[in-house]
Amino acid sequence: MKVTVIGAGAVGATCADNIARASLCEELVLLDIKEGFAEGKAIDMMQTAALLGFETRITGTTGDYSKTAGSSVVLITSGIPRKPGMTREELIGINAGIVKGVTENILKYSPDAIIIIISNPMDTMTYLALTSSGLPKNRVIGMGGILDSSRFRYYLSQAIPASPNELQATVIGGHGDTTMIPLTRLATYQGTPVSNYVAADVLKKVAADTMVGGATLTGLLGTSAWYAPGASGADLVKAIVRDEKRLLPCCVYLDGEYGQKDICLGVPVIIGKNGWEKIVDYHLNDEEKALFAKSADAVRNMNSVLKTL
Ligand code: APR
């Protein structure tokens, strides 16, 4: 089994590190456009193999896609963050060019790959990768919901307090600060509603903190986060390569499900060796359905920028 990570920056390298530590594949290729960068990260990581005991062989390449040939799964983390003074449209334009070009190159050498999108704005980049490549919809997956749900579980664990591992909590909708929907009503602590343990106003704050979880870290770090995004990307790879049939919130193409069409948005899906295999209906209440429709409107508005490029 071979996995490729495009972009050897903070998120891509952390994905690769987590994938290797769990020996999820025999071969792992890191690709970046910055000369020598992916090679350097790959060698550094390989020099931990004797210490950590993993069996994955990691190699790096500067832009040579032939090295990625025959990959089963490819994660796209390449892109640039929004810089001061840059409009949202400009950011979408630059990252769209990168994601579209990368997807084309990957498919030349790995026509059967499952593509995972991490680059932001993730919902729009997932839609772009799917529509520009013409791939079957089950083979293009945006990762954001796994990360957002893990952040939701963290904030809940602080509020209860409890171990994050004993909490089940899902974020659906878009991956943006204002478009994601932490499903507080359905969150549980060992199978019991979290509302048994946390007051309604505190739960509201947990949801609000979750929604700005990424921005909070950018404020603290001066750049966007990488440990949780990297671990989330690796978790999705694990579910695919081990054919786990896990129920995970991912950004996928909707064709009428959750009342939406022609859009990629976060919903609970079964993940296995074929990519996303089935969308699961969580039977949202009216309030949640309204939030989902609003989230879809905002993401659709962002997707419309793609038509102007
Ligand atoms: N092909 C390959 N690599 C590229 C390309 C390209 N066309 N364009 C940029 N890159 C590489 C850069 O050289 C850089 O090493 O992508 C890497 C991005 O790494 P960082 O700048 O460290 O960004 P990172 O924090 O990893 O975030 C990557 O993930 O979570 C999202 O919002 C985040 O969109 C961003 C992405």
d(CA 228, CA 15): 9
d(CA 26, CA 61): 17
Strands 261-272, 180-182: pairing is unpaired
State the catalytic residue, choosing from 175, 179, 264, 299.
175
Q: What is the pLDDT of residue 85?
A: 77
Asked if 126 and 264 touch (Cβ cutoff 8 Å), the reply is: yes
* Cβ within 8 Å of residue 27, ≥6 positions away: 1, 2, 3, 56, 57, 59
Give the residue, by CA position, lying nearest to ligand 1 atom 34.
119
Q: What is the pLDDT of residue 89?
A: 81
Same domain, 302 and 174: yes
Concerning whether 283 is annotated as a catalytic residue, the answer is no
Q: How far is CA 35 from CA 38, 60, 67, 104, 226, in A?
A: 8, 11, 15, 21, 22
> CB of 176 closer than 6 A to ligand 1?
no
Same domain, 136 and 164: no
Q: What angle do CA 246, 23, 273 make, to 5 degrees?
A: 35
130: its two tokens: 């799917």
Place of tokens 């932001």: 120
Q: What is the pLDDT of residue 153?
A: 98
> CB of 15 closer than 6 A to ligand 1?
no
**What is the domain-level CATH number for residue 182?**
3.90.110.10
- The average pLDDT across 153-171 equals 98
Is the model's pLDDT at 73 over the cut of 90?
yes
DSSP structure string for 93-111? HHHHHHHHHHHHHHHHH-T
Same domain, 84 and 216: no
Same domain, 130 and 218: no
Same domain, 187 and 131: no
Q: Helix or strand or coil: residue 66?
A: helix
Same domain, 35 and 134: yes
Q: Point out the domain boundary residue: 126, 144, 162.
A: 144
- The average pLDDT across 63-86 equals 92
Same domain, 123 and 242: no
Domain count, the chain: 2
Q: Which of 68, 80, 105 to mutate to test the pocket of ligand 1 (most atoms within 8 A of CB)?
A: 80
Q: What is the pLDDT of residue 86?
A: 76
Asked if 123 and 265 touch (Cβ cutoff 8 Å), the reply is: yes
Q: What is the pLDDT of residue 44?
A: 98
Q: What is the pLDDT of residue 7?
A: 98
* 214-273 residue pLDDT tens: 999 999 999 899 999 999 999 999 999 999 999 999 999 999 999 999 999 999 999 999
**What is the domain-level CATH number for residue 109?**
3.40.50.720
> CB of 12 closer than 6 A to ligand 1?
yes
> CB of 157 closer than 6 A to ligand 1?
no
Domain that residue 126 falls in: 2-144
* 91-145 residue pLDDT tens: 899 999 999 999 999 999 999 999 999 999 999 999 999 999 999 999 999 999 9
